[in-house]
């Protein structure tokens, strides 16, 4: 019988070992993603980034259009139609009553020589707008970088909080076991046992909350990376020395001056201000006279066009009457033949070149209104740029203050946690000899737990605040 029980126990151990082994293999099979990889994956697959890139690509095509507008324009046309009734033949400029087949072809080229530099300024304006759209792509990436960085560190925070809550549950269960033993021998009261059970319940609740928060932060991170939430992954811990290697020696002015050169929010505002400045020049150019040079070639064919092949008169046809005598007026008829298609194209071929000067005189005051609108747009863009720089300085000042304040908070949290751990150990020793009651040890345990949670949160908060400064400096975000 004992052997049978041993076999059952051995079977349970084997099953348990197999489950643990399979679980560990599953965890090891999950992809591990670093902070830099999470950021790169987000920039590569996020739909917002792709949309911003499409907008930049459209602006690039607009720049090509603006440059192409300086080139000569060449256009050709071919027409074929049939005239009915009495109409002027466009090839002979004579009236004809018969149906006539007409064919015409032309080629025309034109180039603008001067238009108040409007086209050159349009190219510059479009180039600045392209720069703004490119900076907007970087802005979208940077905004997502901040979200990924925050969420990634939130995953690390929640994971460490989960591990801490597991340890706290282990300690609470150990304390409960002690209380149960004391209670059985009559050394502790039912109140002491209830206090221990309450601590276990609180620890279990903390563990459940930490587990939920960790899963939630993992889900948000997967969504940011446009990753299938059913494809699990693990975040990579920062090096143990990362907290000690953080750079917190920042000054507001140094960070601000660097951000002016790299931060997309400021670069967008600057590019749009430069574009609107060129917009004023474009509006003024539209008010200037324009000089263009052009030329063209043209030819035509008519099915009624003919030529005389013999000078002998072969007859006469009436063409009218004399008013007073009613005598018939006739015209001689000569021997004719139709002119061939090729001969007509050659005979009717003509060329033309010349200059055209367009002088705007009155257009309903549109030119002056457009100039005033362009100036107002420029003033608004200038104010937007100043606002972006002002907001940037304020944000950086707060970020630098946060780094310094969080660093002090982290040092204080370390001291608090060490003191809470030491106090809890002392309280356990005093409790075991009956010098304090269960309420006192529960208070000490709670203070230790709170101090540990605060230390974990402050640690990753300090990393986040330091990496935020790296973001404003344009540095690569990684551990």
Q: What is the DSSP string of 459-478?
A: HHHHHHHHHHHHHHHT----
The C-alpha R_g of the chain, in whole angstroms, comes to 44
Domain count, the chain: 2
As a whole number of angstroms, the distance between CA 227 and CA 45 comes to 9
Residue 183 three-state SS: helix
Q: What does the buried/exposed string (b/e) look like for 113-137 if buried means 16 or more CB atoms within 10 Å of the residue's CB?
A: eebbebbbbbbbbbbbbbbbbbbbb
On whether both 125 and 156 belong to a single domain, the answer is yes
Q: Which of 305, 293, 282, 464 is nearest to 373 (CA)?
A: 282
On whether both 323 and 261 belong to a single domain, the answer is no
Q: Backbone phi, then psi, for 80, in 5-degree steps?
A: -140, 130
DSSP string for residues in 415-454: HHHHHHHHHHHHHHHHHHTTSS-HHHHHHHHHHHHHHHHH
- Would you call 152 exposed, middle or buried from its count of C-beta atoms within 10 A (0-12, 13-18, 19+)? buried
In a domain, 21, yes or no: no
On whether both 220 and 82 belong to a single domain, the answer is no
In a domain, 344, yes or no: yes
On whether both 164 and 199 belong to a single domain, the answer is yes
Summarize pLDDT for 4-49 with one digit per residue, the tens: 433 433 443 333 434 334 444 444 457 899 988 999 989 888 889 9
- Residue 304, H or E segment: none
On whether both 54 and 172 belong to a single domain, the answer is yes
Q: How many beta carbons lie within 10 A of that of residue 469, not counting itself?
A: 21
Predicted local confidence at residue 89, as pLDDT:
65
In a domain, 48, yes or no: yes
On whether both 247 and 343 belong to a single domain, the answer is no
- Domain of 331 in residue numbering reads as 78-104+299-350
Which is it for strands 31-33 and 233-235: parallel, antiparallel or unpaired? parallel
Residue 65 three-state SS: helix
Predicted local confidence at residue 365, as pLDDT:
83
On whether both 180 and 98 belong to a single domain, the answer is no
In a domain, 22, yes or no: no
In a domain, 442, yes or no: yes
User: Helix H segments across 30-46?
Assistant: 35-45
In a domain, 360, yes or no: no
In a domain, 361, yes or no: no
Q: Strand pairing partners for 297?
A: 107, 351
Distance of CA 477 to the CA centre of its chain: 18
Predicted local confidence at residue 91, as pLDDT:
62
End-to-end CA distance of the chain: 59
∠ Cα 446 180 173 (to 5°)? 40
Summarize pLDDT for 106-152 with one digit per residue, the tens: 999 999 998 888 999 999 999 999 999 999 999 999 999 999 999 99
On whether both 115 and 100 belong to a single domain, the answer is no
Fill in the DSSP letter of residue 310: E
On whether both 82 and 144 belong to a single domain, the answer is no
On whether both 82 and 117 belong to a single domain, the answer is no
The dihedral through the CA atoms of 331, 337, 342, 343 has a sign that is negative
* CATH code assigned at 153: 1.20.1600.10
On whether both 62 and 186 belong to a single domain, the answer is yes
As a whole number of angstroms, the distance between CA 42 and CA 211 comes to 25
- Residue 382, H or E segment: helix 366-432
In a domain, 357, yes or no: no
As a whole number of angstroms, the distance between CA 466 and CA 124 comes to 39
Residue 248 three-state SS: coil
On whether both 276 and 410 belong to a single domain, the answer is yes
Residues lower than pLDDT 50 in the chain: 1-28
Predicted local confidence at residue 14, as pLDDT:
39
């Amino acid at each position: 019988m004992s052997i049978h029980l041993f076999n059952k126990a051995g079977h349970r151990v084997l099953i348990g070992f197999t489950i643990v082994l399979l679980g560990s293999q599953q965890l090891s099979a999950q992809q591990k993603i670093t902070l830099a990889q999470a950021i790169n994956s987000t920039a590569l697959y996020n739909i917002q980034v792709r949309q911003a890139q499409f907008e930049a690509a459209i602006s690039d095509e607009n720049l090509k259009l603006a440059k192409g507008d300086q080139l000569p324009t060449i256009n050709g046309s071919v027409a074929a139609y049939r005239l009915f009734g009495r109409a002027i033949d466009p090839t002979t400029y004579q009236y004809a009553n018969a149906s006539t087949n007409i064919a015409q072809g032309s080629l025309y080229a034109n180039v603008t020589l001067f238009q108040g530099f409007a086209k050159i300024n349009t190219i510059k304006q479009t180039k600045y707008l392209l720069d703004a759209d490119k900076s907007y792509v970087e802005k979208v990436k940077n905004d997502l970088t901040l979200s990924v960085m925050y969420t990634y560190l939130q995953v690390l925070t929640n994971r460490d909080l989960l591990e801490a809550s597991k340890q706290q549950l282990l300690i609470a269960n150990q304390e409960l076991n002690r209380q149960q033993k004391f209670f059985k021998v009559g050394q502790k009261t039912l109140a002491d046992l209830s206090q221990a059970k309450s601590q276990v319940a609180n620890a279990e609740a903390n563990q459940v909350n930490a587990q939920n928060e960790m899963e939630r932060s993992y889900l948000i991170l997967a969504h940011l990376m446009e990753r299938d939430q059913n494809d699990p992954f693990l975040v990579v811990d920062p090096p143990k020395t990362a907290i000690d290697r953080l750079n917190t020696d920042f000054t507001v002015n140094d960070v601000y001056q660097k951000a002016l050169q790299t931060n997309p929010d400021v670069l967008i505002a600057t590019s749009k201000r430069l574009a609107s400045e060129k917009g004023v020049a474009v509006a003024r150019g539209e008010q200037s006279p324009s000089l263009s040079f052009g030329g063209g070639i043209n030819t035509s064919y008519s099915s009624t066009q003919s030529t005389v092949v013999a000078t002998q008169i072969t007859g006469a046809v009436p063409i009218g009457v004399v008013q007073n005598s009613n005598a018939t007026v006739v015209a001689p008829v000569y021997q004719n033949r139709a002119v061939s298609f090729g001969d007509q194209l050659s005979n009717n071929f003509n060329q033309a070149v010349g200059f055209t000067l367009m002088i705007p005189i009155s257009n309903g005051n549109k030119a002056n209104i457009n100039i005033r609108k362009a100036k107002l747009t420029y003033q608004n863009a200038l104010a937007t740029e100043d606002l972006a720089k002002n907001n940037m300085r304020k944000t950086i000042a707060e970020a630098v203050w946060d780094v310094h304040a969080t660093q002090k908070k982290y040092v204080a949290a370390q001291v608090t946690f060490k003191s809470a751990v030491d106090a809890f150990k002392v309280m356990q020793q005093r409790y075991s000899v009956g010098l304090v009651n269960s309420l006192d040890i529960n208070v000490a345990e709670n203070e230790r737990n709170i101090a540990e949670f605060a230390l974990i949160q402050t640690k990753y908060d300090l990393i986040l605040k330091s990496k935020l400064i790296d973001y404003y400096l344009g540095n690569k975000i990684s551990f």
